[in-house]
């Protein structure tokens, strides 16, 4: 199995070759996400149901859409992630340009690249506004400052509700429990930090993990690689 990450301004491409990885339920809070199966079979599960994706099948996920992904056989999967703020601030043309540049580096397969670029039109950012209501303050805090040591009691206070009611409402509106959402965003922050000069231990501490082993476990569960392997993958892509 080989996993490679290609990153640019406002976009990211992940290529998994010969992968049998499964990703637990999660969401992407800041990106429009497209997946294209090049080989094998994967099962995508969302709040709308389960979907079997085979060779040449394309799937699209808007921000905040909870989902899980399970490989049913060794597969090759290409994921294109475009930041929603790039699409909203600079328009579809800027998003397409950023994605096209990365896809050329990552794939070298014009037909597959074209399908993913066409798929961007399926993910209009309309309606993906800032969160509103009682959970707005908490959800924004967990997205922008995931490293803050907020307990469930602290979260309930920010949302002005009991912790038991918070868990029920948060799961209904976001698709994850507050703790799952917090850990997910800590891992995402760790990913961003590992693209720079920091060590794995430094990224773990800055992302809010109590120790590196906890960071390693959660990172591999959500990303599919250890933090060290992820950092090496990103470094290799920068030399292309």
Q: What is the pLDDT of residue 126?
A: 44
Do 152 and 113 belong to one domain? Answer: no
91-130 confidence digits (pLDDT tens)? 667 778 888 888 988 888 899 999 998 887 766 554 444 4
Residue 133 has pLDDT above 80, yes or no: no
Question: CA-CA distance, 219 to 215, in Å (whole number)?
Answer: 6
Instruction: Name the pTM for this structure.
Output: 0.79
- Picking from 122, 145, 177, the residue at the C-terminal end of a domain is 122
- Domain shared by 141 and 196, yes or no: yes
**CB–CB of 142/182 below 8 Å?**
yes
* 201, 226 Cβ separation under 8 angstroms: no
> What's the rounded Cα separation, in Å, for the pair 165 and 156?
8
Domain count across the chain? 2
Q: What share of the chain is helix, strand, coil (3-state, %, to 5)?
A: 45, 25, 30
Please check whether residues 117 and 161 belong to one and the same domain.
Answer: no
Same domain, 188 and 85: no
Q: Is residue 128 part of a domain?
A: no
Q: Is 143 domain-assigned?
A: yes
Q: What is the CATH number of the domain that holds 116?
A: 2.60.120.10
18 and 84 share one domain: yes
Residue 177 belongs to a domain with what CATH number? 1.10.10.60
Stretch among 50-59, 94-103, 129-138, 168-177 having the lowest mean pLDDT: 129-138
Q: What integer is the mean pLDDT of 203-231?
A: 94
């Amino acid at each position: 199995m080989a996993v490679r990450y290609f990153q640019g301004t406002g976009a990211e491409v992940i290529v998994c070759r010969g992968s049998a990885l499964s990703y637990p339920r999660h969401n992407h809070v800041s990106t429009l996400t497209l997946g294209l199966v090049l080989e094998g079979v994967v099962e995508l599960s969302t709040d709308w149901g389960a979907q079997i994706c085979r060779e040449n099948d394309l799937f699209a996920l808007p921000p905040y859409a909870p989902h899980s992904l399970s490989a049913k056989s060794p597969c090759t999967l290409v994921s294109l992630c475009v930041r929603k703020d790039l699409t909203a601030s600079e328009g579809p043309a800027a998003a397409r340009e950023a994605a096209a540049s990365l896809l050329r580096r990552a794939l070298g397969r014009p037909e597959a690249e074209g399908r993913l670029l066409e798929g961007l039109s399926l993910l209009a950012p309309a309606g993906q506004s800032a969160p509103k209501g009682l959970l707005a303050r908490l959800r924004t805090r967990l997205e922008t400052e995931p490293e803050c040591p907020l307990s469930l009691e602290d979260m309930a206070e920010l949302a002005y509700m009991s912790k038991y009611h918070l868990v029920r409402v948060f799961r209904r509106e976001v698709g994850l429990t507050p703790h799952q959402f917090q850990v997910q965003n800590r891992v995402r922050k760790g990913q961003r930090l590992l693209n720079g000069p920091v060590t794995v231990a430094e990224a773990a501490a800055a992302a809010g993990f109590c120790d590196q082993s906890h960071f390693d476990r959660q990172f591999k569960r959500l990303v599919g690689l250890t933090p060290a392997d992820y950092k090496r993958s990103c470094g290799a892509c920068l030399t292309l």
